[in-house]
Amino acid sequence: MRHSHSRTFQGRDLEKLKTESETESNQTSKVKVMSLSLLRWLIPLGVILLGWQCTALFLASDNVPSVVQVFSSLQSHLVNGDMLYHLMVTLYRVALSFCIAMFFGVMIGIVMGAFPRLNEAGDSLLVIALNVPALVTIILCYVWFGLVEAAAITAVAINKIPTVIVMVREGARVVDRDLLQVAQVFKVSPFRCFFKVYLPQLYPFIMASARSGLSLIWKVVLVVELLGRSDGVGFQLGTFFHFFDIASILAYTLAFAAIILVIEGLLMRPLDRYIARGNYNDSGAGDNGRYKGGL
Amino acid sequence: MVNLKIAIERKSYAKNMPDVLGPLAFNVSQGEFVSLVGPSGTGKSTLLNMIAGLEPIQDGSIRFNDQLLAGSPPCKLSYIFQQPRLMPWLTVADNLRLVMPDSAPFEIEKMLDKVGLKGKSDCYPKQLSGGMQRRVSIARAFLTRPDVLLLDEPFISLDAPNAHRLRSLLVELWLEHKTTVVFVTHDLNEAIQLSDRIIFLSSSPGTVLLDKEVDLPRPRADEDIHFQNWKKHLLSQNPGLLEGQADGIEYESFSGGFI
């Protein structure tokens, strides 16, 4: 009796100790995981930069600037030049054409996914639109609408819309009719049904097209700027190309790539987490594994 | 307070497909709990979908209080589906709020409390067990204070204690709300335990084989001797009933096992 009593007492103490040490180890392990993921991130970057620097030193060519040269160029453009202005102009164009392309792409994708007849009718058109080279739309837009901002934005949006349509259409095709029946039976208003029942089923598809869209759009925006605008990163790259200023070209590229990374981290990932909110379960198993990677 | 008058001539999904429902007619008076029992594939779910306005009526009519059903039902109707059918991206509370946008938080809490899900309002459906999800769908169905409640084998694939608990909950809520209920099942015990009247459907295309009043006092337990006798009597008088056979000659030896 006494023996068992003391044992349970000990057990309780042990448990208490255990939980205390657990919370402590939780905190330290959190820091560990953070630093580990940071390391995992930095090591490949460091290897690439190091390889680049070595190659540049080895080749000793004007056409292959070293890392140091590129970063000093980046610094001078940032501090003394108008890099920030050009970056912002390009970013504005990316954002605007991205929003336009997503809006129309999602709308048309939903309609085509929902109505099989319309889908059949529009399918060949869609295939053509998917395969028209970006350069052609850009040139045509400039010829028809003049060398204006609207033409530039339109050209980029037109390039992106078909790929958004294709992805969203797939989502709209596999929409869960069972859930829509729930909305119908309980007489949920069309507005609420669209935003609470229908659209959430498309979010993963919209998100995927947004991801691929961002990378495509900023590349097309640069071409548009190169061909018919007098500001923006594309225009600057064209100028540096004329002077064979490779260091500046790489500096601009790095700067914009960094901005895209920031957008990805600050906008896309939190959105991902928001969209996947219902799919998280306690055991952590299932199809949400893909959202679990660290930074 | 709604009564139902159902008169279906036939129903098929496509022109060259066999009929799923044959000529079939029955009424459900207001506040009555009617079970539809029949083998699988007799069009029970189709019939429920027709009552809910999810499935078009080809030949025949369904009347709510003598008002012909065209499009969506002219009264508040709730449907508890075979699967809980909750929106996985909405929390439990938001799932309930979806069907009753202007319900106060305390009403939702009260409803969840009634189905034994107190404090689960902020959970997402995937965080709940299957039985809990079903309870959410029951809560959702009763939150709208429906005039008509349709249930399509809602307790299938649940473990016995859970199914038992949910059945008593259903009866409790039904007694409280005085809802007209149409309940589809192929479990005879369940039907006897819950309903005022059982309608037995034949195998496909479904027609009414037998319309039987359940005159047992409530609450009914399926291990109760009166319950067992009632069931035995029913099956001995109507052999082949559960197989959807009108005469039951071919199945006599099989149903003899019950007697």
For the segment A115-119, the average pLDDT, to the nearest whole number, is 89
pLDDT of residue B247: 56
Same domain, B51 and B68: yes
Whether B38 contacts B186, CB under 8 Å: yes
Interface membership of B78 toward A (CB under 8 Å): yes
Q: Cα(A178)–Cα(B53) distance, rounded to whole angstroms?
A: 14
Where do the H-state alpha helices sit in chain A?
2-59, 67-79, 83-114, 116-131, 134-145, 149-173, 177-185, 190-192, 199-228, 233-242, 246-263, 269-275
Residue B228: give the domain boundaries. Answer: 208-259
Are the beta carbons of A278 and B89 separated by less than 8 Å? yes
A83 Cα to chain B: minimum distance (Å): 42
SS3 string, B4-36, reads EEEEEEEECCCCCCCCCECCEEEEECCCCEEEE
Classify residue B89: in a domain, yes or no: yes
CA distance to A3, A14, A17, per residue, from A9 (Å): 10, 9, 12
Chain B residue with Cα closest to A274: B89
Same domain, B119 and B70: no
Checking if the pLDDT of A96 tops 50, the result is yes
Classify residue B193: in a domain, yes or no: no
Of B77, B89, B98, the CB nearest to A192: B98
Q: Which residues contact B12 (CB under 8 A, 6 or more apart)?
A: B18, B19, B20, B58
B77 Cα to chain A: minimum distance (Å): 7
Classify residue B185: in a domain, yes or no: no
Same domain, B174 and B132: yes
Task: Report ipTM for this prediction.
Answer: 0.83
Classify residue B195: in a domain, yes or no: no
Same domain, B11 and B71: yes
Q: Which residues contact A289 (CB under 8 A, 6 or more apart)?
A: none
Encode pLDDT of A195-249 as tens digits: 999 999 999 899 989 988 888 898 899 999 998 888 889 999 999 999 888 888 9
Interface membership of A281 toward B (CB under 8 Å): yes
Name the DSSP letter for residue B186.
Answer: S
Same domain, B90 and B170: yes
B141 Cα to chain A: minimum distance (Å): 9
Chain A residue with Cα closest to B48: A185
Closest residue by Cα to residue B125 from B183, B73, B83: B83
**pLDDT class for A15, splitting at 50, 70, 90?**
low
Encode pLDDT of A152-164 as tens digits: 999 999 999 999 9
How many CB atoms lie under 10 A from the CB of residue A287?
Answer: 9
Interface membership of B130 toward A (CB under 8 Å): no
Same domain, B114 and B127: yes
Of A184, A200, A279, the CB nearest to B54: A184
The partner residues of B184 in beta bridges, in order of sequence, read B36, B152
Interface membership of A186 toward B (CB under 8 Å): yes
pLDDT of residue A282: 39
Same domain, B168 and B98: yes
Same domain, B87 and B172: yes
Interface membership of B144 toward A (CB under 8 Å): yes
Angle of the A199-228 helix axis to the A246-263 helix axis, nearest 10: 160
Q: Which value, in Å, is the radius of gyration of the alpha carbons in chain A?
A: 26
Classify residue B113: in a domain, yes or no: yes
Classify residue B156: in a domain, yes or no: no
Could you tell me the pTM of the whole model? 0.76
Same domain, B71 and B132: no
Chain B positions in Cβ-Cβ contact with residue A203 (cut-off 8 Å): 89
Chain B residue with Cα closest to A275: B89
Classify residue B245: in a domain, yes or no: yes
Are the beta carbons of A178 and B85 separated by less than 8 Å? yes
Whether B173 contacts B146, CB under 8 Å: no
pLDDT of residue A18: 52
Checking if the pLDDT of B182 tops 90, the result is yes
User: Mutation test of the interface with chain A: which of B72, B76, B87, B148, choosing the one with the most A Cβ atoms within 10 A?
Assistant: B87
Classify residue B141: in a domain, yes or no: yes
Encode pLDDT of A143-191 as tens digits: 999 888 899 999 999 999 999 999 999 999 888 889 999 999 999 999 9
Of A196, A279, A281, the CB nearest to B90: A196
Same domain, B169 and B88: yes
Domain total of chain B: 3
Q: Give the lowest-confidence range in A29-38, A127-136, A222-231, B71-80.
A: A29-38
